[in-house]
Structure 1
Amino acid sequence: MEFPAASTHRGLVPWLGLMLAVFPSSLTTRIPPTTEQFAIVSTVAAEGQDVILRIRNSPPGVLGIFWYRGRVVKDSNFIGYIALGPGDYVTGPRNTGRETALFDGSLIITNVTQSDEGIYLAIALLPNIQRARALGSLNVYGPPCVSSS
């Protein structure tokens, strides 16, 4: 006896079409894949622009974000820390006065220069002294070269 909802001859399941018609909202529900991870959105900017290094896929319960220049966590690379609840911001030795962390944890750099180009590291402080690490890059291009012939 054949299952009445599916025909092996047609290869389709008739009740699936009915469910899609009755429950279309289930298609708009986004379930993030498990491969998404905490990251910094890599950015390209022209020299002199203001840029935001945005945080992507922030883990739940983030208490604050530490920002570093380069791949290594060390005091000389420390740009700043933002406590996400109260919004307190502490700067480090690598802060030039043009970097500020935003309330969502992203880092804004005003008037970027070629020296700002490189890898940036964000460390999210999570409950129970856990941490999540994210890397991203900033590429800065200068003004176009005009040659006189």
Structure 2
Amino acid sequence: MEFPAASAYRRLVPWLGLLLAVFPSSLTTRILPTTEQFAIVSTIAAEGQDVILRIRNTPPGVLVIWWYRGRVVKYSNLIGYIALGPDDYVTGPGYTHRETALFDGSLKIRKVTPSDEGIYLAVALLPNGQRTKALGSLNVFGPAFFKHSLSENHRHRE
């Protein structure tokens, strides 16, 4: 014996099956996966601290990362670059003898000063010859800022 309503829905079942078969495949071709962008983690530091400007979402197979002070890829702004394969770090005109490119591509700056504050640019060379850019900022605060912040926090607690 058959369920009484089954015969009424029989004609809809093939269409429903077809829609279920076609619709998900069209969804997967139109919705692209989101990928995180190659970036420099912006950092805040106190004057005199050692700072590491970390890179986030390094593309696979990066061959070289160039570091620049400022937004522009210009030789005079070049701090240095590191080949991520061999132990090879080369400096440029923007090098102040306090910067070191680390083997994960990050940039370490020893004893930051207010003149280190600003935008930094990392350019990665990919195996296919293409380049991708990352921007980040470094903010440097002097001791007066921290004394003021500490006194403000103390006042709010009372």
Q: What TM-score do the two structures reach when normalised by structure 1?
A: 0.75
* Structure-1 residue corresponding to 2:117: 117
RMSD of equivalent CA atoms: 1.7
C-alpha distance in 2 between matches for 1:135 and 1:41: 8
* Structure-1 residue corresponding to 2:81: 81
Return the offset for 1:84: 0.4
C-alpha distance in 2 between matches for 1:42 and 1:63: 23
* Structure-2 residue corresponding to 1:57: 57
C-alpha distance in 2 between matches for 1:34 and 1:105: 23
Q: Which has the higher Rg, Structure 1 or Structure 2?
A: 2
C-alpha distance in 1 between matches for 2:87 and 2:99: 15
C-alpha distance in 2 between matches for 1:128 and 1:60: 11
Runs of 4+ in 1 over 6 A off after TM superposition: none
Structure 2: 5+ residue stretches without partners = 1-5, 10-32, 149-158
C-alpha distance in 1 between matches for 2:100 and 2:129: 24
Stretch of structure 1 that moved more, 121-130 or 39-48:
121-130
* Structure-1 residue corresponding to 2:16: none
Identity percentage of aligned residues: 79
How many residue pairs end up in the alignment? 117
Q: What TM-score do the two structures reach when normalised by structure 2?
A: 0.70
* Structure-2 residue corresponding to 1:29: none
* Structure-2 residue corresponding to 1:48: 48
C-alpha distance in 1 between matches for 2:55 and 2:34: 17
* Structure-2 residue corresponding to 1:141: 141
Return the offset for 1:35: 4.0
Structure 1: 5+ residue stretches without partners = 3-32
